[in-house]
Structure 1
Amino acid sequence: MTIILQEGYQSYLSELLPPLRQQVEQLNWLVTDLRCWGKYSPLIETWQAQSYDAAPYYSVVPGKTFYEAFVGWDMQVVWGVFCGVVGDIPAVPPEEVPYADGNRRIWSEPEAFQLAGSEIEIVAFDGTFTLLKFRDETVGRQFLEAFPTGRVVRTPDDMLQSYQ
């Protein structure tokens, strides 16, 4: 299930993560393509710097660390891909590292996960919208209860509907 958020705090993970705290903390997170504005934790600064460098392309962090790095900070995620995985995250070849900026697949295949093992993916796109992808539709519906302005997207036309 893929949900698009376009209104309000759509790219403030400090607002989006609390309803999913239990699920977020149970996963390990691959963080990539990160660019943030505002007041953020020192961890975010480290992850963001790595996203700009040629290597290592991404950071891997435990769920509790991921949650605490965002919640409680007044920060907008302008760009970023966050992939929550059960268990260890194997090394990702550079050509397979998830990204948001310039990724046409976001528009053409909105339900496709960028990292095969992801249970949850969060994609912040230019600070204008955020996609949340859930393998477990029950978790997606739980999220929609907390954010009823979210809209389920399944096709490219669903994505483009936002811009008409």
Structure 2
Amino acid sequence: MNWIIRNTKRIKFHTNLTEVLKPIWKDLFEYNWVLTDLDFMSDDNDIHIDFNHDYFILNKEQFEKLYQSETQIIWGIISATPKNLQLNTNSISNLSAEDLNAWKNNQFLIPESYVEIVAFDSAYTIVKFKDEKLSNKFKEYFEDEAIDLQKFNEDYMTKPKT
């Protein structure tokens, strides 16, 4: 239930949330969104994120503005979490998309995540799910462009380079 998108024709750029979340967007309205370790580019000034803070906790309306914008998340962790969850903001502000645990199967950087997206250097988008139905919808939409994270790691991360 963990996927990585590396090469795709479906999205204009990594990590375009409009495209990445498109197949599951309607299933995610009952969550808050935690965003941390962000680097991004956007022409929209009304997206509730900036470079002055280490992390953001957005409600569904605030996140929807980001979702609908043409914002490229270059680096970062984006997580759907339950609305009334009390989060440890100190630990969230110290998270990094470069953490090796981001690449591990079924390992969520924010353990309370329902869905977790890790944007890695405008080249990879890792998407992890705790709900199999959402995972299946995602995979069905992206087809072969969504690669199983464990298989990706076995094929590209653990083999010695020759």
Q: TM class, shorter-chain normalised?
A: 0.7 to 0.9
Q: Distance in 1 between matches of 2:34 and 2:21?
A: 15
Give the secondary-structure state (helix, strand or coil) at the position aligned to 2:50.
Answer: helix
Q: Distance in 1 between matches of 2:79 and 2:136?
A: 19
Extract unaligned runs of 5+ from structure 2: none
Structure 1 residues 61 and 160: alpha-carbon distance in aligned structure 2, compared to 1, 3 A threshold: same
CA RMSD of aligned residues (A): 2.5
From 2, 27, 30, the equivalent of 2:31 is 27
Contact 1:24 1:64 in 2 (8 A): no
- Match of residue 122 from structure 2: 127
Aligned residues: 154
- Match of residue 54 from structure 1: none
Q: Which moved further from structure 2: 152-161 or 135-144?
A: 152-161
| One-letter identity of the residue aligned with 2:37 | D
Q: Distance in 2 between matches of 1:76 and 1:131?
A: 15
Give the CA deviation at 1:161. 7.3
From 36, 40, 52, the equivalent of 1:36 is 40
Extract unaligned runs of 5+ from structure 1: 52-56
Structure 1 residues 41 and 20: alpha-carbon distance in aligned structure 2, compared to 1, 3 A threshold: farther
Structure 1 residues 93 and 36: alpha-carbon distance in aligned structure 2, compared to 1, 3 A threshold: closer
Contact 1:83 1:122 in 2 (8 A): yes
Q: Distance in 2 between matches of 1:159 and 1:67?
A: 34
Within a 5 Å distance, the mapping from 1:37-76 to structure 2 comes to 37-44=41-48, 47-51=49-53, 57-71=54-68, 73-76=69-72
List structure 1 runs of 4+ shifted beyond 6 angstroms.
none
TM-score normalised by L of structure 1 = 0.80
Give the CA deviation at 1:75. 2.5
TM-score normalised by L of structure 2 = 0.81
Q: Distance in 2 between matches of 1:159 and 1:31?
A: 27
Q: Distance in 2 between matches of 1:21 and 1:41?
A: 22
Structure 1 residues 93 and 40: alpha-carbon distance in aligned structure 2, compared to 1, 3 A threshold: same
Within a 5 Å distance, the mapping from 1:78-157 to structure 2 comes to 78-97=74-93, 98-100=95-97, 102-107=98-103, 109-148=104-143, 149-154=145-150, 156-157=153-154
